[in-house]
Chains A and B, each alone.
Chain A
Amino acid sequence: MNTKKLLGFAAFLIAVFVLVPLFISATGRWDFFYTLTSVALLSVGAAGVWLTFYIGRINIGQGAYALVGGYVSTILVTQVGMSFWLTLPLAGLFCAFVSALIGFPILRLRGVYFAMVTLVLTEVARLTALALPITNGAKGITSIPLPGELSIFGLTIIPAFGSLSNPRFGFYIMAVLLMVITYLVLWRIVNSRLGHLCRSLQQNEELSASIGVNTAYLRLLAYAISSFFGGIAGAMFASIAQSIYPSSFVVADSVNFMLYCFLGGLGYVFGPMLGTFLLYFGWDLLSIAKEYQLLIYSGVMILLMLVLPNGVLSLLDKKEGSK
């Protein structure tokens, strides 16, 4: 990392951990914490979708893993009595494991065929949640206790959320922290050999195999990491909402995850983060247009894809090119 990037990263950290909370407490708009928490968590899920794009697969199934992750964490907390902080990685790992099982057959598919199967996955997850006794059907699981204290060797790292005067602020910090870690991991993947191989896979799978890349394994690995992100995002969501239903994540959410990636830019690691932010707030802002909200929203999306097919972040590239 060069100095410029380090400075940018530091500026980002200061903005999200200091400036935004200061701004919110100054204006008293505490609901913004909730909105920004959602943005941060959705962008964690979108990071996963972006990684599957990076190996050349269109993933419209992240909602399924978010739902599975949410249920796994919730069930472990409510029925087993496990600490939420332990269930968070477990939910991710469970999703990674499930996605490896599912991915093994379906990752052979390409293009629109893979996309269609993943689209169905979200619906399968919803129907499964409706049918299983442990997920409590359509009634879902409610009154999930807030995350407790996380301490190692008696040292409190995260205080119990119930004891906080403002749990919303606590969730905001946790979600943003999760987002920062996720994108650091993603950034590292993309800039290491792992990412270079993913790129080779995206551009030409046959050639990739002929230079000795185990393409099946690499696809599976990328998909599992992708689903891990989806799982932890879902788990955190369920904990914040203190409830989870089969309809917590539906097909529309899966599609949104994909749109976040498109909007931000598929060629940029931080594309999905920006895309999530813009789209989430864009949608809220458009609520002033009342019944025309969806129309304007869709129109703008189509326009953006026509004008900026490589995402919003491609604007930066153009600037640099003209220098």
Chain B
Amino acid sequence: MSPILQIKNITKRYGGLTAVNDVSFDVNAGEILSVIGPNGAGKSTLFRLISSFVPATSGEVLFNGERISSLAPHKVARMGVVRTFQETTIFRSMTVRENIIVSHHLRSKASLFGFFLGSKQAKEDEAAFAASADDIVDFLGLQAIRNELASNLPQGHLRALGMAIGLATDPKVILLDEPFAGMNHDETMKMVGLVRRLRDERGVTVLLVEHDMPAVMKISDRIVCINFGQKLAEGTPQEIRENEKVIEAYLGSEDAAIGM
């Protein structure tokens, strides 16, 4: 497998604080890779760096060999690296379907002016978006709430909607920020299945940040563990489970935390 995403010696400093320190790893096409680490380890910053929402102090991120760090976030999204948000960020006063349709922006062939005039291409685009949105609604099992206003949705649905928004952009790599946070066991297992299908049925490479160790162990092909902004270990779930440094980082609650 070839690396689709390469993170090379990336570092982010905020004043005197080094949030991410010289982290490197590769993400292979078609794999599910999780980034784990204790609270404040720099996982979220790492995500913001990869999606280019914050500029790196040094180091770089390559997507298919092309440098994407320092590009504007919308350009990174355009290339196919799309993030979802931890804070269940959605367009609150749109319905579920509207949320998904508007997120098809990257797939539009008509220009904004074409859309304004209602050109033939624009009409074709809109029809395609609507069809694709319905497809995504079916894929994620959101049929019952498709016309519900996003601000009225409960947590679990919001997270699914966040994923739907990500899917609408037709990503090659999707970055999921804590997709299982605040979910009970059943919900988590459902989500695990969904993330798997994302990869298996839609061929999306998945990079996720997560706290929930049992879920991470279950879902990941490989795991990268970071602590205090530095990479501690990288390997299969089995290797990570047995890694001394990782166990130490989760000291005191290793059994429960690592999910054995």
Contact = CB atoms under 8 A, between A and B. Distances in A.
A188 B114 CA distance: 12
* Centre residue among B98, B103, B108 by max chain A CB count within 10 A: B103
A151 interface: no
Interface in B83-109: 83-85, 89-94, 98, 101-103, 105-106, 108
B74 A212 contact: yes
Given A193-B108, A196-B98, A197-B105, A209 B93 contact: no
A214 interface: yes
Contacts of B108: 193
Contacts of A284: none
A194 B77 contact: no
Contacts of A209: 53, 72-74, 77
A215 B105 CA distance: 12
A193 B89 contact: no
B77 A210 contact: yes
A207 interface: yes
Contacts of A214: 72, 74
Interface stretch (B6-14, B115-123, B132-140, B232-240): B115-123
B72 A207 contact: no
Interface in A189-233: 189, 192-194, 196-197, 199-200, 203-204, 206-207, 209-216, 221
A192 B84 CA distance: 25
A197 B111 CA distance: 13
B122 A193 contact: yes
Contact of A197 (B83, B89, B102, B122): B102
A9 B238 CA distance: 68
Nearest to A185: B116
A81 B165 CA distance: 55
B246 interface: no
Contacts of B115: 192-194
A216 B73 CA distance: 11
B112 A211 contact: no
Nearest to A215: B74
B78 A210 contact: no
23 contacts: A188-B118, A192-B115, A193-B108, A193-B126, A197-B105, A199-B91, A199-B93, A200-B94, A203-B92, A203-B94, A207-B85, A207-B89, A207-B90, A209-B72, A209-B73, A210-B53, A210-B74, A210-B85, A211-B77, A211-B105, A211-B106, A212-B82, A213-B74
8 nearest CB pairs, A to B: A212-B106, A212-B77, A193-B115, A209-B73, A211-B103, A203-B91, A192-B115, A207-B89
